[in-house]
Amino acid sequence: MPRFFTIQQAERLLPEAESIIRDAIAAKSGYEQAEEEMQNFSRRIMMLGGVRVDHTEILKHRDQRDSSAAVLKSAMEKIGEIGCLVKDLDIGLIDFPTLLNGEEVYLCWKLGESGIHFWHGVHEGFQGRKAIDEAFLASHQGDLPN
């Protein structure tokens, strides 16, 4: 069952969510780098026919990949526990579910933004972001009192 946030509740969680999303982005980068190194290593083995293979190098990259994957998984679980939805990890895009006139919509925040200034409908996505105005503030609600 989703959790619904007021803008005040979501804003209070931003420092924690930002820290977690930064960890997730770094872990994803580490994973991708290690995976690329492993693929490059495999190509070299095929080209050289397996002659003089340094197994410690491939093990190092595999350990880095697996470690990064574990950090990424943990970060994504933490975001889920908070109640946020990661929409685009590459740019650090997170949505906080809220209710607007009884209908589920999302408070939308992107890494680097100073706060939550936009919202969009469930099916609109990032391109459908609208500025939060007084009418939105007066009509939205969360599960719990602020």
- pLDDT, tens digit (0-9, with 9 covering 90-100), for 71-100: 999 999 999 999 999 999 999 999 999 999
State yes or no: pLDDT of 1 exceeds 70.
no
Kindly report the pTM of this predicted structure.
Answer: 0.84
29 contact partners, CB below 8 Å, separation of at least 6 = 68
**CB-based contact 99:4 (threshold 8 Å):** yes
What does the pLDDT look like over 100-130, one tens digit per residue? 999 999 999 999 999 999 999 999 988 899 9
- Residue 126 token pair: 């990032």
Supply the pLDDT for residue 2.
67
